[in-house]
Amino acid sequence: MKKIIAFLTSTIVTISFIGQGINDSISMEAGYTNQVFYSLENGTITSVDNSNWDIALAVSGQGAKGSAILFNDAYGTLYKAPVDTSAWQTLDTAGIDTWEILLNSDTSWTNGAFNKYRGAAGNFDMGWGILNPSNNFWTFGDSLYVAKINDGSYKKVWILSLKTGVWQFKYANLDGSNEQTQTITKTDYPNRNFIYFSMSSSSIIDREPDNSTWDLTFTKHKDYLTPPGMFLNVTSAFTNRNVWTAKAHEVDLNAALNSTTPQTPFTQNVNNIGREWKKFSSQNGGWSVRDSIAYFIYDEDSVNYYRLVFTGFEGSSTGKAFFNKEKLGITSIHNNGVNNVLSLYPNPANNEVSILIHTNKEQMANFAIFDLTGKMVLNKTLQLAYGSNVDTFKVSTLPKGIYIVNIKNKNINYTQRLIIR
């Protein structure tokens, strides 16, 4: 029996226990003029002017992710011209008010406004152009756009190509004057999701922080709202690539601040937080926060697993949002080419304990709890699906004290001390 105890205690993986939440805030400034990039671990990473760019081109990611192009729809309007690139010189904007307005996807960074029709002409259709697998997998633009940008001027835009990591596009005034061709090489901007460009100043704007340093971005953008049935600017909290979120709708703030089990599956939809955490009511005199929602957040590439609860919002007067964040603890294990991210929480526990496992393959694992004599007091088989899995176990019948949790299969051997009180 002593050998069993020695084995278990010698393989303990130390992670942070659940602790008291931290109250924090961000500010998009009055009128939501700034975009804020935020790290759950380190707070605000940077706050940058959200009006100094027009288009943003993906500089990281492969395939579809690497061909994404955003438009700054908070400060402009992007129209899809109803003609092909042969009309570049003679583009006529008569009837532009009837042209389709394009918005960035609010669920994925892969589909910017320029990618609206991705896949419409087959798997190689990137929306703004067609990828040619027989020609170095280069993508050549086949669409024209008209952009009303922040300074009020109109530009016609043609994304010419994406060749071996090099973007090329051109733009001009509607009458063809001041035509400019711009080239951007992805490798010049390592560790960025996007590189930004201003057509009014004809300049590249390197405004985004290292993509490994932030989890959330708070920003103003445009959406079509029904009611009232029109395009309006809204503010949202979007998640970074590789960030997973789930949520629990609790009865009140106190329940949200103590929530430990997501009620929804984890997703990489960037708007899983979005703008749901707040609402506007003219009858109640302004903004109110849905402080009964607990958001659970982790990054595949990080060591943090958090619960986030919004507690306040001051609207456009300051652009400030307030929230409580609490690290639930996480660790990452890499075995046999399988990435398994695990977190045991709450710890210490009272009535129940949850285990979060994110894995990149379907597998089975054994979950067991031992007391300090080496006696197994709980044993369960876990069926793990690809992605995120959360299982919760009742421990209220176990005597108070220290236990050892072990999760094991050919890819996982995770051991953690558990306190029941």
Share of the chain above pLDDT 90, in %: 73
Region of poorest pLDDT, from 76-80, 128-132, 404-408: 404-408
User: Which of the four pLDDT bands, split at 50, 70 and 90, describes residue 336?
Assistant: low
Answer yes or no: are the C-beta atoms of 120 and 109 closer than 8 Å.
no
* Integer Cα distance of 256 and 109 in angstroms: 29
72, 63, 150, 152: which is closest to 112 by C-alpha? 72
User: Which of the four pLDDT bands, split at 50, 70 and 90, describes residue 339?
Assistant: low
Prediction pTM value: 0.85
Measure Cα distances from 89 to 55, 95, 177 in Å: 22, 18, 10
109, 113, 188, 190: which is closest to 149 by C-alpha? 113
Q: Is a pLDDT exceeding 50 seen at residue 83?
A: yes
User: Which of the four pLDDT bands, split at 50, 70 and 90, describes residue 78?
Assistant: very high
Domain ranges of the chain: 2-16+332-420, 22-42+214-327, 53-205
Q: Is a pLDDT exceeding 60 seen at residue 334?
A: no
Answer yes or no: are the C-beta atoms of 328 and 258 closer than 8 Å.
no
Instruction: State the Cα torsion 65-69-72-78 to the nearest 10°.
Output: -130
The pLDDT tens digits for 279-297 are 987 766 688 999 999 999 9
pLDDT score of 285: 67
CATH architecture of the domain with residue range 2-16+332-420: Sandwich (2.60)
Does an H or E element contain 47, and which?
strand 43-49
Backbone angles phi, psi at 134, to 5 degrees: -90, -5
Q: Is a pLDDT exceeding 50 seen at residue 355?
A: yes
Return the higher-pLDDT residue of 303 and 58.
58
Return the higher-pLDDT residue of 145 and 227.
145
The pLDDT tens digits for 176-214 are 999 999 999 999 999 999 999 999 999 999 999 999 999
Cα 375 from chain centroid (whole Å): 43
Backbone angles phi, psi at 163, to 5 degrees: -120, 115
* Integer Cα distance of 68 and 109 in angstroms: 7
